């Protein structure tokens, strides 16, 4: 590898970093501008994690192949009783087994 | 209640320990990112720099994917903004819990504000603990440094890993996020919000396209929560599952 960094890529990375950091302080700046928290805003903020994270899960499920779908359902069932690591292991085992069978 | 007032050093260790499962499950994505980044034309040094200064896995992968398709820079940055828009909501929701940090501590804390950092910090605050800076930093450091190192390793190993599907790596990210969703299932209107966000994001993915479906789906769920009649039941203080 002769070149470590190309100027274009460094510009892209720095721009991406600045954009990301702005989103990470943005909510704090907004909340500080408001003196009191209206109940509906509080309800909205309360819904943020489930709403946002769902948008990372649902499209992956619908766009995924049948083995991904089955593995995600299996992981969901495991996740109703157990924590993240058993979920990941269950989903991974199911998808690997299915790929052996389906191929 | 000595448990709520532990020694500072144990706070750091407690946070660090809590982050171990996170980096175990996120580690493969750092390796995956490094491998994909190099495959799409970044150098190993650039992939490592990107992990070190952006530090947001999903958006890093989106950015690299678009860069590989020779999309103009401003669209790449805009897409990264769309994927990371949720962080605005995260930092707003987290502010009451970390408002006692000093300003430099807050500025560093917001840099470390990832999905698991948000979820676990909120969970800690809701179980009656004061979220200390040391706990927050311990949790963040144990994710940040391996994330950067594993991105570099992923870049170096890129060619060996080849197709992530062969190793079943592609299924881990959605399951990991699904686990985070389940962690919030005792909140008011959880199921309704999840269904609306899920359906809207899937529709938006087809009608508008990625990465906007993330912001559109999230806004739909959050707007629904704001419009629903306020519930009298407590939304905090429940037992974690």
Asked if A73 has any chain B CB less than 8 Å from its own CB, the reply is no
The CA–CA distances, whole Å, from B53 to A92, B60, B112, B233 equal 30, 10, 10, 41
User: B89 by DSSP, 3-state: which?
Assistant: helix
Transcribe chain A into DSSP letters.
Answer: ---S--HHHHHHHHHHHHHHHHHHHHHHHHHHH-SS--HHHHHHHHHHHHHHHHHHHHHHHHHS-HHHHHHHHHHHHHHTTS-HHHHHHHHHHHHHHHHHHH-
User: What's the CA gap between B228 and A51, in Å, rounded?
Assistant: 14
Closest A-chain CA to B195 = A54
Domain locations along chain B: 8-184, 186-231
Which tokens in the block code for residue B217? 């789906």
Q: B235-238: long-range contacts (C-beta < 8 A, 24 or more apart)?
A: B235/A46, B235/B187, B235/B188, B236/B126, B237/B126, B237/B128, B238/B126, B238/B186
User: What's the CA gap between B75 and B62, in Å, rounded?
Assistant: 11
Q: In this structure, what DSSP letter does residue B165 have?
A: G
Give the helix, strand, coil percentages of chain B, each rounded to 5. Answer: 75, 0, 25
Which of A20, A63, A75 faces B175 most closely, judged by CB atoms?
A75
Residues 131-150 of B with CB under 8 A from A: none
CB contact at 8 A, B222 and B89 = yes
Asked if A102 has any chain B CB less than 8 Å from its own CB, the reply is no
User: What's the CA gap between B97 and B68, in Å, rounded?
Assistant: 39
Across the A/B interface, how many CB contacts are shorter than 8 Å? Answer: 279
CB atoms within 10 A of CB B45: 17
Closest B-chain CA to A46 = B93
Binning pLDDT at 50, 70 and 90, where does residue B4 land? Answer: low
Separation in Å, CA of A98 to nearest CA in chain B: 10
Binning pLDDT at 50, 70 and 90, where does residue A16 land? Answer: very high
Q: Taking the model in full, what pTM does it have? A: 0.69
Is pLDDT at B236 greater than 60 in this prediction?
no
User: What's the CA gap between B19 and B124, in Å, rounded?
Assistant: 13
pLDDT for B239: 38
Which of B58, B111, B221 faces A47 most closely, judged by CB atoms?
B221
User: B188 by DSSP, 3-state: which?
Assistant: coil
pLDDT tens, residue by residue, B31-57 = 888 987 887 788 999 999 999 999 998
Q: B115-120: long-range contacts (C-beta < 8 A, 24 or more apart)?
A: B115/A53, B115/B86, B115/B90, B115/B177, B115/B180, B116/B19, B116/B22, B116/B26, B116/B143, B116/B180, B117/B143, B118/A49, B118/B90, B118/B93, B118/B94, B119/A49, B119/B180, B119/B183, B119/B184, B120/B18, B120/B19, B120/B22
pLDDT tens, residue by residue, B167-199 = 777 787 788 779 878 988 988 899 999 999 999
Asked if A19's CB is within 8 angstroms of B77's CB, the reply is yes
Binning pLDDT at 50, 70 and 90, where does residue B240 land? Answer: very low
Residues 6+ apart with CB under 8 A from A70: A94, A95, A98
- In chain A, what residues touch B55 (CB-CB under 8 Å)? 20
Specify the residue for token string 């501590």.
B105
User: What's the CA gap between B77 and B38, in Å, rounded?
Assistant: 19
| ipTM at complex level | 0.76
User: What's the CA gap between B91 and B109, in Å, rounded?
Assistant: 10
pLDDT tens, residue by residue, B103-153 = 999 999 999 999 899 999 999 998 888 999 999 999 999 999 999 999 999
pLDDT for B237: 40
CB contact at 8 A, A43 and B107 = no
CB contact at 8 A, A75 and A60 = no
At how many degrees (to 10) do helices A39-63 and B86-98 cross? 140
Between B157 and B71, the higher pLDDT residue? B157
Asked if B173's CB is within 8 angstroms of A51's CB, the reply is no
The CA–CA distances, whole Å, from B195 to A64, B156, B199 equal 18, 40, 6
| Best of A33, A35, A47, A73 to mutate (most B CBs within 10 Å, chain B) | A47
Between B203 and B2, the higher pLDDT residue? B203
Q: What percent of chain B has pLDDT over 90?
A: 46
């Amino acid at each position: 590898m002769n070149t470590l960094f190309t100027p274009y890529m460094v510009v892209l990375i720095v721009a991406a970093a600045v954009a990301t950091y702005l989103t990470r302080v943005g909510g704090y700046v907004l909340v500080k501008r408001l003196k009191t928290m209206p109940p509906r805003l509080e309800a909205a903020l309360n819904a943020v994690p489930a709403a946002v994270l769902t948008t990372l899960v649902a499209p992956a499920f619908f766009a995924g192949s049948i083995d991904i779908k089955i593995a995600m359902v299996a992981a969901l069932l495991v996740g109703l009783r157990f924590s993240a690591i058993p979920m990941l292991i269950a989903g991974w085992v199911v998808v690997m087994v299915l790929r052996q069978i389906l191929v | 209640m000595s448990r709520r007032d532990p020694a500072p050093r144990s706070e750091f260790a407690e946070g660090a320990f809590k982050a171990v499962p996170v980096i175990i499950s996120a580690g493969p994505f750092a390796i995956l990112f490094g491998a994909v980044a190099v495959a799409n034309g970044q150098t190993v040094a650039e992939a490592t720099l990107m992990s070190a200064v952006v530090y947001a896995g999903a958006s890093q992968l989106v950015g690299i994917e678009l860069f590989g398709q020779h999309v103009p820079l401003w669209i790449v940055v805009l897409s990264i903004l769309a994927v990371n828009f949720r962080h605005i909501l995260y930092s707003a929701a987290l502010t009451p819990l970390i408002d006692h940090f000093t300003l430099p501590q807050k500025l560093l804390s917001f840099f470390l504000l990832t999905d698991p950092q948000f979820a676990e910090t909120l969970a800690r605050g809701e179980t009656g603990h004061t979220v200390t800076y040391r706990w927050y930093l311990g949790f963040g450091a144990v994710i940040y440094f391996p994330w950067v190192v594993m991105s570099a390793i992923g870049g170096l190993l890129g060619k060996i890993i080849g197709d992530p599907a062969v190793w079943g790596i592609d299924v881990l990210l959605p399951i990991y996020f699904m686990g985070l969703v389940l962690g919030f299932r005792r909140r008011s209107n959880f199921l309704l919000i999840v269904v609306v966000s899920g359906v809207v994001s899937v529709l938006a993915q087809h009608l508008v396209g990625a990465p906007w479906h993330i912001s559109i789906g999230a806004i739909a769920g959050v707007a629904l929560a704001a419009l629903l009649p306020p519930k009298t039941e407590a939304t905090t203080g429940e037992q974690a599952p």
